[in-house]
Amino acid sequence: MSKYDEMKKIRDEVIALEEGELSKFRKENNYHAVLGEGSHDSKIMFIGEAPGKNEAMTGRPFCGAAGRILDELLASVEIPRTEVYITNIVKDRPPENRDPLPSEIELYAPFLDRQIDAIEPKVIATLGRFSMEYIMRKMGLSFELEPISRAHGKVYDGKAGFGPVKVVPLYHPAAAIYNQSLKDTLKKDFQTLRNL
């Protein structure tokens, strides 16, 4: 099956999902599931936590205020957004933009796992602590887990089903909306990505 066909199959399955509060919330509000966007041949995959309201309304990941910061960070290291793949663990918006629950991560994570296997990125950049924790465990790095305040910007050697992958935990761009010093930290951490 081609990457495109596999990604389309994942999308169709998420849209048809009946389980869980979030798919009901999506349907009640006429929201979209947010699968991801970008190049299926990307070397870098960005993984956030869950879509917000703007994302659920448009079906596009990182298209609100946090997305503008992500675009700025990508521009700062001259990586075109079209050349990376951007997604979240959870594909439906949690009400009030609350954090995703462990049961929601568990429900949606298999879709993310299949997206990772289809794209086979060389680098996975996690955005926020939920995606950092999930990906570090998934890539055999549980023993390296530490708070994001210490892990951000470091490069870890993980193991995916298709081979080695570098994992780079990053703060979520939304954190920089209210804290300018975090934006400077993110800019430094993005230099690490550029060097990879």
- Provide the pLDDT confidence category of residue 178 given band limits of 50, 70 and 90: confident
138-to-35, 68, 89, 166 alpha-carbon distances in Å? 19, 29, 12, 13
Segment 84-101 shows an average pLDDT of: 95
pLDDT at 179: 87
- Provide the pLDDT confidence category of residue 156 given band limits of 50, 70 and 90: very high
What is the per-residue pLDDT across 71-84, written as a single tens digit (0 to 9) for each? 999 999 999 999 99
In the chain, where are the structural domains located? 3-195
The answer to whether 176 and 186 are in contact (CB under 8 A) is yes
pLDDT at 145: 95
pLDDT at 86: 98
What tokens does 111 get?
A: 């879709």
* Domain over 3-195 is classified CATH 3.40.470.10: yes
- Provide the pLDDT confidence category of residue 195 given band limits of 50, 70 and 90: confident
Rounded to an integer, what distance in angstroms lies between the CA atom of residue 9 and that of residue 5? 6
Rounded to an integer, what distance in angstroms lies between the CA atom of residue 93 and that of residue 72? 24
Q: Which residues are CB-contacts of 132 (< 8 A; sequence separation ≥ 6)?
A: 126, 148, 151, 169
C-alpha angle 102-14-101 in degrees, rounded to nearest 5: 10
Q: Dihedral sign, CA of 60, 186, 65, 179?
A: positive
What is the per-residue pLDDT across 23-73, written as a single tens digit (0 to 9) for each? 999 999 999 999 999 999 999 999 999 999 999 999 999 998 999 999 999
pLDDT above 70 as % of the chain: 100
- Provide the pLDDT confidence category of residue 7 given band limits of 50, 70 and 90: very high
The answer to whether 165 and 59 are in contact (CB under 8 A) is no
